[in-house]
Structure 1
Amino acid sequence: MKQSDIFRDNADNCLQLAERAEGQPAHKRYSRMADAWTALAHEQDWLDGEVPPVPGRFPQQRDA
């Protein structure tokens, strides 16, 4: 199993905990944890070369 898949499983677990949470603070906490695990999974995919890097933010210079 890939590391990013493990991270996604953790995110799914956090979402399940958020659904069962009693109270808004706990729900928000688990939701933020799920977002963090998802971000880690995406970054791991990038590190493993499975997704391309984000395109450059600077406009390309044109020849006049």
Structure 2
Amino acid sequence: MKQSDVFRDNADNCLQLAERAEGQPAHKRYLRMADAWTALANEQDWLDGEIPPVKVRVLRTQDA
């Protein structure tokens, strides 16, 4: 199993915990944790070369 898949499993677990959370603070905390795990998974995919880096637009100036 890839590391990014482990991170996504952790995100899914956090979402399940958020559904069962008693109270708004705990619910929000688990949602933030799920977002963080998902971001880590995406970053790991990038590090592993599975997704391309973000394209950067280069602005070109014209000579007057």
Q: In 1, Cα distance between the equivalents of 2:62 and 2:52?
A: 27
Cα RMSD (Å):
1.4
Could you tell me how far 1:60 is from its partner in structure 2? Answer: 3.4
Please say if 1:59 is aligned against 2:36: no
Q: In 2, Cα distance between the equivalents of 1:59 and 1:24?
A: 44
TM-score, normalised on structure 2?
0.91
Q: In 2, Cα distance between the equivalents of 1:60 and 1:38?
A: 32
Q: Give, as a single letter, the amino acid of the residue that structure 1 aligns with 2:9.
A: D
Q: Tell me the matched-pair count.
A: 63
Could you tell me how far 1:50 is from its partner in structure 2? Answer: 0.2
Q: Which segments of 5 or more consecutive residues in structure 1 lack a partner in the other structure? A: none
Please say if 1:22 is aligned against 2:22: yes
TM-score, normalised on structure 1?
0.91
Q: In 1, Cα distance between the equivalents of 2:29 and 2:61?
A: 47
Following superposition, which runs of at least 4 residues in structure 1 exceed 2 angstroms of deviation?
A: none
Q: Which segments of 5 or more consecutive residues in structure 2 lack a partner in the other structure? A: none
Q: In 2, Cα distance between the equivalents of 1:34 and 1:19?
A: 12
Please say if 1:33 is aligned against 2:18: no
